[in-house]
């Protein structure tokens, strides 16, 4: 059996993985063949991690703290009756992979701020952002897909979140403190969760996704106020969807106003300024995150003025 077949890697992805990971390709793809654990995010609007963990353990579950996310709890297997997990029905805990939790934390949203979740979908990360904001301030969940946004409503109700407005994207204004772009992607980082996803190709082909990602990043960036933060994230392990998109954006006219700004204190490791998580190295789903800060309106990295230009 050839390596791609043994590692269950579809042909469209094989050369991309080999180019990105070289000798490490076996380890990355083998980790994607293992079953994922069940990660829960504690809704800190309703409980602390300490309280939620104690309740889950006293119901007989072997639960641990996640290694990087300060609000995560890990159960070793997803083969459990979800309804039996204390707090799940009440919105005290919500199933969410640790990598997804970390991407939401990377935005650094604070109570009272104006924040956009730009590719909000059914709102997994919206809930994480609302908890960071202590349910205070304005959180706008945007997406092109109205039906997905609608599916977030019962989840927000269960979580006790009421600072969220939804908005079907047409165009926006640049006045938000923080914008999260959880871009549509190939999803290869989440292959552990849906073993058939790699073969069924429910997502669009990567060649179609790459220009969408670039456009989404450009558009979302226009919503960020000067001095504000933009996070670009995917659940992909492929550089084309990740650092290559960020680098192309930073090299563009709009991107020249932004700088890569990894946080100084963050629970998970950064690598060349990027959050790069993989099942092989971190035990969570494969996620990528880049935090960018928009200049206050003065000089750009290339020495041009972006606001109040006087030339």
Ligand X SMILES: C[S@@+](CC[C@H](N)C(=O)[O-])C[C@H]1O[C@@H](n2cnc3c(N)ncnc32)[C@H](O)[C@@H]1O
Q: Is 143 annotated as a binding residue?
A: yes
Q: Could you tell me the smallest distance in angstroms from the CB atom of residue 156 to ligand X?
A: 12
Residues 198 and 207: their CA atoms lie apart, in Å, by: 16
Residues 162 and 21: their CA atoms lie apart, in Å, by: 43
Q: Could you tell me the smallest distance in angstroms from the CB atom of residue 126 to ligand X?
A: 7
Verify binding: residue 37, ligand X, rule CB under 6 A.
Answer: no
Q: Which of 85, 119, 223, 275 binds ligand X (CB under 6 A)?
A: 119
Q: Which of 45, 56, 116, 122 binds ligand X (CB under 6 A)?
A: 122
Q: Is 182 annotated as a binding residue?
A: yes
Verify binding: residue 198, ligand X, rule CB under 6 A.
Answer: no
Output 25 or 32, the one with its CB closest to ligand X: 32
Q: Which of 124, 137, 255, 286 binds ligand X (CB under 6 A)?
A: 124
Q: Is 231 helix (H, G, I), strand (E, B) or coil?
A: strand
Residues 179 and 174: their CA atoms lie apart, in Å, by: 10
Output 147 or 311, the one with its CB closest to ligand X: 147
Q: Could you tell me the smallest distance in angstroms from the CB atom of residue 27 to ligand X?
A: 25
Q: Which of 123, 189, 279, 283 binds ligand X (CB under 6 A)?
A: 123
Q: Could you tell me the smallest distance in angstroms from the CB atom of residue 100 to ligand X?
A: 6
Output 49 or 125, the one with its CB closest to ligand X: 125
Residue 119 CB burial class (10 angstroms; 0-12, 13-18, ≥19): buried
- Active-site residue flag, 235: yes
Site track 218-237 with ligand X (rule: CB under 6 A), x = hit: --------------------
Q: Which of 16, 114, 125, 156 binds ligand X (CB under 6 A)?
A: 125
**8 Å CB contact between 172 and 223:** yes
Structure tokens of 240?
Answer: 């084309």
Residues 71 and 48: their CA atoms lie apart, in Å, by: 8
Output 61 or 288, the one with its CB closest to ligand X: 288
The residue from 9, 119, 235, 284 that is catalytic is 235
Residues 118 and 189: their CA atoms lie apart, in Å, by: 20
Structure tokens of 27?
Answer: 């380890």
Residues 55 and 104: their CA atoms lie apart, in Å, by: 25
Site track 167-196 with ligand X (rule: CB under 6 A), x = hit: --x------------x-x------------
| Closest to 240 measured CA to CA, from 11, 19, 30, 9 | 19
Q: Which of 13, 120, 223, 230 binds ligand X (CB under 6 A)?
A: 120
Q: Could you tell me the smallest distance in angstroms from the CB atom of residue 250 to ligand X?
A: 20
| Closest to 115 measured CA to CA, from 166, 178, 164, 180 | 178
Give the torsion sign (CA, 138, 139, 144, 147).
negative
Structure tokens of 288?
Answer: 């990528």
Residues 100 and 83: their CA atoms lie apart, in Å, by: 22
Residue at token pair 């290869």: 188
Looking at residues 133 to 172 of the shown chain, list those that interact with ligand X (rule: CB under 6 A).
Answer: 143-145, 148, 169
Secondary element (H or E) of residue 274: strand 274-277
Residues annotated as part of the active site? 235
Binding-site annotation: residue ranges for S-adenosyl-L-methionine: 143, 182
Binding residues for ligand X, per CB under 6 A? Answer: 119-125, 143-145, 148, 169, 182, 184, 212, 216
């Amino acid at each position: 059996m050839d390596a791609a077949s043994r590692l269950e890697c579809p042909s469209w992805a094989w050369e991309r993985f080999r180019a990105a990971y070289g000798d490490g390709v076996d380890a990355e793809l083998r980790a994607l063949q293992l079953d994922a654990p069940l990660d829960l995010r504690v809704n800190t609007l309703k409980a602390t991690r300490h309280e939620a963990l104690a309740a889950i353990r006293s119901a007989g579950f072997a639960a641990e703290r996640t290694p990087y996310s300060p609000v995560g709890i890990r159960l070793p297997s997803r083969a459990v009756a979800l309804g039996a997990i204390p707090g799940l029905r009440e919105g005290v805990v919500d199933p969410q992979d640790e990598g997804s939790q970390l991407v939401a934390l990377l935005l650094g949203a604070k109570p009272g701020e104006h924040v956009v979740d730009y590719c909000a979908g059914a709102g997994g990360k919206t809930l994480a952002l609302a908890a960071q904001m202590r349910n205070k301030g304005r959180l706008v969940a945007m997406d092109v897909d109205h039906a997905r946004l609608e599916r977030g409503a019962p989840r927000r109700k269960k979580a006790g979140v009421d600072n969220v407005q939804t908005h079907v994207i047409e165009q926006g204004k640049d006045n938000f403190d923080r914008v999260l772009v959880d871009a549509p992607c190939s999803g290869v980082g989440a292959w552990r969760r849906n073993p058939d996803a790699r073969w069924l190709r429910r997502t669009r082909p990567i060649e179609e996704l790459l220009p969408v990602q670039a456009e989404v990043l450009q558009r979302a960036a226009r919503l960020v106020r000067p001095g504000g933060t933009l996070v670009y994230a995917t659940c992909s392990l492929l550089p084309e969807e990740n650092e290559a998109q960020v680098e192309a954006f930073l090299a563009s006219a709009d991107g020249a106003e932004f700088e890569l700004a990894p946080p100084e204190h963050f629970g998970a490791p950064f690598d060349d300024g990027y959050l790069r998580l993989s099942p092989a190295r971190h035990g969570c789903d494969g996620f990528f995150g880049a935090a960018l800060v928009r200049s206050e309106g003065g000089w750009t990295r290339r020495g041009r003025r972006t606001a109040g230009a006087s030339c």
